[in-house]
Amino acid sequence: MLKINIILTFLLITLIYSPIYSQEIEVFGNLVPGNIIIVKGNNIQWAWIDSTQLKIDSQQLFVLGFDAKETGSKILKVKHDAGLVTLKNIKLPDQEYKVQKINNKKQQFSATPDSLENRIKKEREIAKNARKKIGKIDTAYYKSGFMKPIKGGIITGVFGSQRILNGVPKNMHNGLDIAVPRGTPVYAMTDGVVNLTTNNFYYAGSYIVLDHGQGLNSMYLHLSQIHVKEGQYVKKGEIIGEVGTTGRSTGPHLHWGVQWYSKRVDPAQILKMKFD
């Protein structure tokens, strides 16, 4: 966990520099692709990252994230009372990820049968409609902190890796795969509202999406049992389901994904976050 306590000099909104005004903000998290940062401040009126306006909690807390493939410079702008604006230039480095070769004996997992196209299309539409609700919550439910949603287990798939399945390159892996026995409890990584629950979708199986506020959301795939309902508020550490092998899965495991809106975030980075 990288904690950056930055005391920045303000620029007047007229862009006239004045050394008289200063304001403290705290930025928590590594400034790298595939991660989030959490910002605390005082008397914040609004905040933007480039052309995207950010949600501000009543406790002056907000989050923003960078996709796994995102690079280059970003400008964070935070407006405080009295018309003062804090500017921070964020430079994201290039990020390299691993390549995993998997020779799967279940040949049917290498390609999707044409007969299932309609089913898959309907399932994607359901997920897409549910995700439209992400970002409508201003409250920073994630302020309770983060935890691993599984006790123990073996990491069998890392974030950002490209899988070559039976010699066929696949999309980048956008989460962590944790192998544990079927029926192992799955916990909410932080407080949130249940955005979506599904029943054995073709790819992801039975899964849950939690909305943690301000665009931050998490996904728990391939479950055998789901113990929550859509719209339900859950606390950090609450049991939300059980590990299974539903969907396209070769054995019992949890696929744990995290996103800021649709930007893919490394769950391993999330576990390093502390902001108190």
Question: Tokens at residue 64, please?
Answer: 């923003």
Q: What angle do CA 207, 193, 35 make, to 5 degrees?
A: 75
Rounded Cα distance between 62 and 241, Å, is 28
What's the rounded Cα separation, in Å, for the pair 223 and 204? 9
Those residues whose C-beta lies under 8 Å from the C-beta of residue 201, and which sit 6 or more positions away, are 123, 127, 207, 247
The string of pLDDT tens digits covering residues 159-213 is 988 777 777 777 788 999 999 999 999 999 999 999 999 999 999 999 999 999 9
pLDDT, tens only, 226-242: 999 999 999 999 999 99
For the stretch 72-124, pLDDT in tens is 999 999 999 878 898 999 999 998 887 767 665 455 455 677 888 999 999 99
Return the DSSP state at 205: B
For the beta carbon of residue 128, count every other beta carbon within 10 angstroms: 9
Supply the pTM of this predicted model: 0.86
State which amino acid sits at residue 7: I
In the chain, pLDDT over 70 holds for what percent of residues?
87
Ordered by where they begin, the domains of the chain are 3-92 (2.60.40), 99-270 (2.70.70.10)
